Amino acid sequence: MNDHADLVARALLEIRASADLGGLDEVRVRWLGKKGELTAALKSLGALPVAERPAAGGRINAAKEEVQAALEARRLELERRQVDAELVAGRIDVTLPGRGEERGALHPVTQARLRIEALFGRAGFDIAVGPEIEDDFYNFGALNIPENHPARALHDTFYFPDGRLLRTHTSPVQIRSMLARGAPLALIAPGRVYRCDHDITHSPMFHQIEGLAVDTNITFGDLKGTLDHAMKALFGSSVKTHFRPSFFPFTEPSAELYVTCFICGGSGKRGADPCRPCKQTGWIEVLGCGMVDPNVFEFVKDNGYDPKKVSGFAFGMGVDRLALLKYGVDDLQYFFQGDVRFLQQFS
């Protein structure tokens, strides 16, 4: 009997001394495993006289149960400690500032487009879109630019082998919109356009916004008033506008619109130096425009655009160029390189 009390006391000491679950399991194996000390004691019962076996067996079983209960209690305690330790180690400091959560911003060209869209939207212009892969008819033919017309040479066009092309301007959306809906109509058409051209002021892909308004009795005065208002809204009320005669196959008469130079304010000088963006003229060209050529209406006249009854104005502007001039950026490439250091300046 003393033997057993001694064994239990030693087992309990070891159990209490085990510092983690792994150590505790070793203790369990040492006492209760197949070759454990208490197991061995049970096995040795066979050597006792039959009459003593039940009493001795009861004592050993009681000892075994005591050790088992101690093991279980220690296991629970060690598990609880482990959870507590993990909770402390993994504690989240909710007051730490987040990482990698820098604020984004819209690209300057997108900002310019959205401003122009909002401005014309308030004036009642819808937004129209068209495909970037176009047919000759929409990009040239229906815009009064027949084959072999010299104006085609001005558009360095990317052609596909099947004769289709990447649109060189947003003007084809004029034709698509008029074919899709009748007059009256007022819309702007923003989008990407493509030309085989690449230097510091030209990119093979750039952005334009087309404008078109058709109704009965639309005059050149409407065109001037609309664009003058738009330029003042975009660039500030002190901006002056200036229309100069020009030529586009799809408008007659045609004009180029100039506004007071954003950089020099119209003086043509920057301090003592000549102002480069406006070539010292004090004026910056911002878009092409004109009255829709009756020849263009001829292509869509069955959709309610009888050239004898309706008239309209159209305009087209380069969004990248406007953003470039407005922000005084000296190389168009910056807009397309995605360099965060450059883009951050516009957030």
CA dihedral 200, 202, 204, 208 (to 10 degrees): 140
Q: What's the min distance (Å) between Cβ of 326 and ligand DAH? A: 19
Q: Where does this chain touch ligand DAH (CB under 6 A) — which range of 36-44, 77-85, 184-192, 311-319?
A: 311-319
Say how many residues touch ligand DAH, by CB under 6 A. Answer: 11
Amino acid at residue number 187: L
Q: Running DSSP on this structure, what letter comes out for residue 183?
A: S
Give dist(CA 46, CA 96) in Å, integer: 68
Residue among 109, 128, 284, 289 that touches ligand DAH (CB under 6 A): 289
Report, in Å, the least distance between residue 290 CB and ligand DAH: 5
Span near ligand DAH by CB under 6 A; candidates 63-71, 222-230, 310-318, 337-345: 310-318
Interatomic CA distance for residues 108 and 261, integer angstroms: 19
Q: How far is the CB of 124 from ligand DAH (least distance, A)?
A: 18
What's the token pair of residue 109?
């060209």
Tokens describing residue 94 = 């909710």
Say which DSSP state 120 is in.
H
- Of 211-240, which residues contact ligand DAH (CB under 6 A)? none
Q: Classify residue 158 by burial, with Cβ atoms within 10 Å: 0-12, 13-18, 19+.
A: middle
Cβ-closest position to ligand DAH: 316
210 in contact with ligand DAH (CB under 6 A): yes
Report d(CA 72, CA 61) in Å as an integer: 16
User: Is residue 251 near ligand DAH by the rule CB under 6 A?
Assistant: yes
314 contributes a contact to ligand DAH by CB under 6 A: yes
The number of angstroms, rounded, from the C-alpha of 144 to the middle of its chain's C-alpha atoms is 38
Is position 285 an interface residue for ligand DAH (rule: CB under 6 A)?
Answer: no
Instruction: Return the number of the residue (253 or 265) whose C-beta is nearest ligand DAH.
Output: 253
Q: Does 171 bind ligand DAH (CB under 6 A)?
A: yes
How far is Cα 254 from Cα 292, in angstroms, rounded to an integer?
Answer: 9
Helix or strand run (H / E) with residue 111 = helix 108-122
Site string for ligand DAH, 141-170 (x = CB under 6 A): ----------------------------x-
∠ CA 13-16-19, rounded to 5°: 130
Does residue 27 bind ligand DAH (CB under 6 A)? no
Beta carbon of residue 293, minimum distance to ligand DAH (angstroms, whole number): 9
Chain positions contacting ligand DAH, by CB under 6 A: 169, 171, 210, 248, 251, 288-290, 314-316
